[in-house]
């Protein structure tokens, strides 16, 4: 039986935090701590933890759910389920963005609606949940929050860059051209924006590393081509 919860976000996560400072940290965007010597740290450390917890729990779930599939198929499913668009969609669905503490100027800029911010906050919340409530609470939350995304995967998805290359080849087009449009953020938490062009179309993706940004850019172009 779950204990009574004391806040909306704890109700979403299914856990009352004994260490409330972990929850506050998970919900603190780095913009809210700039220039402050006191108060909670940003959620970047917990995002690092949550990323690893999510990978483990999702791999466990996939192995249980698809006992006949091999590493390649399971890997493609995993990559999709932990991708930035899926994480941002889950975070938006559970209303995580409104709970984020961000700098006043960033609120006006719409930072709470950015996919990168939502995805990172979701991983940070999962990291905090794991540290405070343990693996069972984390597993319970993941299987509830990702249920729709998991059920939507009737077949193992293709890698977005591979799918884009096949799309181009079928139409007799040149190979996709990927370029780094910008690099922002501090050295320990960079953000890459990558563009991809092929057949007069363009896609854009932003992520914490170049490879992930390329995947998002390919996915963006393919979605626009449908």
Q: Report CA-CA distances (Å) from 25 to 112, 127, 188, 195, 208.
A: 16, 10, 18, 33, 20
Catalytic hit among 47, 123, 214, 220: 123
What's the mean per-residue pLDDT of the chain?
Answer: 89
The residues, ordered by sequence, that sit 6+ positions from 30 with a Cβ below 8 Å of its Cβ are 42, 43, 44, 189
Whether 51 sits among the annotated catalytic residues: the reply is yes
Residue 191 confidence (pLDDT):
87
CA angle at 30 for the pair 24 and 33, rounded to the nearest 5°: 75
Catalytic hit among 25, 51, 106, 214: 51
Residue 154 confidence (pLDDT):
85
Residue 157 confidence (pLDDT):
81
Backbone angles phi, psi at 224, to 5 degrees: -70, -20
Residue 39 confidence (pLDDT):
54
Which has the closest alpha carbon to 213: 172, 187, 169, 178? Answer: 178
**Tens of pLDDT, residues 124-171:** 999 999 999 999 999 999 999 999 999 998 888 888 898 899 999 999
Structural domains in the chain, CATH included, are 8-151 (1.10.1520.10), 160-225 (3.30.160.20)
Q: Which residue has the tokens 């603190």?
A: 28
Residue 212 confidence (pLDDT):
87
Check if the beta carbon of residue 186 is closer than 8 Å to that of residue 208: no
d(CA 58, CA 60): 5
Residue 40 confidence (pLDDT):
63
Whether 123 sits among the annotated catalytic residues: the reply is yes
Which stretches of the chain score pLDDT less than 70? 1-6, 34-40, 226
């Amino acid at each position: 039986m779950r204990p009574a919860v004391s806040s909306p976000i704890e109700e979403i996560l299914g856990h009352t935090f004994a260490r409330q400072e972990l929850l506050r940290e998970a919900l603190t965007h780095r913009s809210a701590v700039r220039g402050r010597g006191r108060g909670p740290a940003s959620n970047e450390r917990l995002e690092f933890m949550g990323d690893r917890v999510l990978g483990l729990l999702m791999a466990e779930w996939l192995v249980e759910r698809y006992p006949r599939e091999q590493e390649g198929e399971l890997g493609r499913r995993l990559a999709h389920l932990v991708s930035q668009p899926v994480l941002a969609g889950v975070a938006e669905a559970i209303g995580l963005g409104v709970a984020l503490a961000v700098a006043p100027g960033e609120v006006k800029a719409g930072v709470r609606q950015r996919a990168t911010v939502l995805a990172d906050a979701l991983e940070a919340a999962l990291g905090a949940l794991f540290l405070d409530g343990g693996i069972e609470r984390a597993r319970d939350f993941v299987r509830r929050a990702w249920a729709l995304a998991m059920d939507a995967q009737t077949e193992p998805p293709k890698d977005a860059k591979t799918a884009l290359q096949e799309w181009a080849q079928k139409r007799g087009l040149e190979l996709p051209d990927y370029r780094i449009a910008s690099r922002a953020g501090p050295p320990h938490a960079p953000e890459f924006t990558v563009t991809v062009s092929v057949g007069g179309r363009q896609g854009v993706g932003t992520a914490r590393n170049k490879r992930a940004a390329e995947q998002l850019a390919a996915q963006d172009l393919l979605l626009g081509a449908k």
